[in-house]
Amino acid sequence: MEKNTTLKDIADKLGISVSTVSRVINGNSVKAANKKLQDDIWRTAKELNYVPNTAAQLLKRSRETDRESLRTIACVFARADTDQSDPFFSEISRALETELLRQGFIMKYSIYNKGLPQAVLETFLKTERVDGVIILGRPDKKIIELVCKYNKYVVYVGLNKIEGDIDQVICDGYEAGMAALKHLQKAGIRKIFYLGETKSEARYKAFKDFMRQHGLAKEPADYTIESPFRLHAAYDKMKHFLKKGELPEGLFCGNDLAALGALKALTEEGIKVPKDISVIGIDDIAMAGFSTPMLTTVSIPKEQLGKKAAKFIVDRILNGNDINVIMMIPFKLIERESAKKVKEVKR
């Protein structure tokens, strides 16, 4: 019989005390360990297939009597094709899975929808039974309808509000975009371009509205560099744009991956950031603090998005609430080195 992983197994692998592991796993993590150690503990727990006591009890009972007693969740990455293609949603997913474990639930499947035929997704949803589904990233209408067709409990997490009778945990991408653009404007920058996705994208809508409201562009499309929210794609698009010989004063990027791709292209062309151009992103992924120069960005609280989504789906399953809820999580501007500082107003 296969031996279940214990807290001692995790402690031994990391060379720390069982009590420290116990306090982190059981939710007393603030005083038990720093963030790095917490992350190490949860990563090791996942590697060793550790199941918390509540879930372990359910698992044991399900093997002996009713296999349906184990609570399971599926996670649908609406816009990713691998777990490495979008670090923003990967960070949310880790927080989501950790919180589900604490609540005694298991994330049974992760489904990467980008490029996946709809028929394949439908077959999966029809045959693989789970208690609830969490959608990460903006899905199209057909995906929402498909997920809701086969699952009663569905929660969406993202930066864009969507239509549908499901719970939503959102950090408002429109307002985050406005905050980034206002920062550039307050720094005295007027000629601003947008780099990123445009279709049904709240951050791009913020750009268009901002440019028109402040008289910075009659046709925002003329100030748009359309690109997928991917590092290499944004790099290629920026390299192509720079060949035209036009240089904005500011570049608002729809996410940090696009901004990091742009920074690489600008650096290779000998353009100094922020002296020649200010660059700002949205997300505050881990890489944003390690670029050269370090990226100024709007920080989206990814851990909170994941935790709240987990709590929403658990509450739905256990309590069966009938009223759909939209929870808004606040963002925060992080000033680093890639954008000019806001000038102090003289009184």
- Assign residue 154 the CATH number of its domain: 3.40.50.2300
CA distance 277 to 259: 12
Same domain, 182 and 150: no
Same domain, 162 and 193: no
CA distance 156 to 48: 29
Query: What b/e readout covers 261-297, taking b as 16+ CB neighbours within 10 angstroms?
Result: bbbbbbeeeeeebbeebbbbbbbbbebbeebeebbbb
| pLDDT in the model for residue 57 | 44
Q: Within the chain, what is the greatest distance between any pair of CA atoms?
A: 75
Angle between helical axes of 7-14 and 18-25 (0-180°, round to 10)? 120
Domain containing residue 11: CATH number: 1.10.260.40
| pLDDT in the model for residue 60 | 46
| pLDDT in the model for residue 52 | 58
Same domain, 234 and 292: yes
| pLDDT in the model for residue 17 | 83
Looking at the domain assignment, is residue 335 inside a domain? no
Same domain, 135 and 189: no
**Signed CA dihedral, 248, 254, 256, 260: sign only:** negative
| pLDDT in the model for residue 230 | 93
Q: Identify the residue whose tokens are 């998005």.
A: 305
Number of helical H runs and strand E runs in the chain: 13, 12
Of the candidates 196, 215, 224, 211, which has an alpha carbon nearest to the alpha carbon of residue 79?
Answer: 196
Same domain, 294 and 200: yes
Same domain, 167 and 79: yes
Looking at the domain assignment, is residue 346 inside a domain? no
| pLDDT in the model for residue 40 | 83
CA distance 188 to 289: 24
Rg of the chain's alpha carbons, rounded to an integer?
22
pLDDT in tens, the chain (347 residues): 456 678 888 888 898 887 788 777 765 444 557 777 877 887 788 778 776 554 444 444 444 434 445 789 999 998 877 656 789 999 999 999 999 988 889 988 888 887 778 888 889 888 888 999 999 999 988 899 999 999 999 999 999 999 888 999 999 999 999 999 999 999 999 999 999 999 999 999 999 999 999 999 989 999 999 999 999 999 999 999 999 999 999 999 999 999 999 999 999 999 999 999 999 999 999 999 999 999 999 999 999 999 999 999 999 999 877 788 899 999 999 999 999 998 743 43
Question: Burial of 134 by CB count in 10 Å (0-12 exposed, 13-18 middle, 19+ buried)?
Answer: buried
CA distance 297 to 180: 7
User: In total, how many domains does the chain have?
Assistant: 3
Same domain, 156 and 62: yes
Whole-model pTM: value is: 0.79
Q: How are beta strands 296-299 and 332-334 bridged, if at all? A: antiparallel
CA distance 214 to 282: 21
The domain in which residue 163 lies consists of 58-171+302-330
| pLDDT in the model for residue 128 | 85
Residue 25: which residues within 8 A CB-CB, separation 6 or more? 7, 10, 41, 45, 50, 52, 102
| pLDDT in the model for residue 93 | 92
Q: How many CB atoms lie within 10 A of CB 28?
A: 11
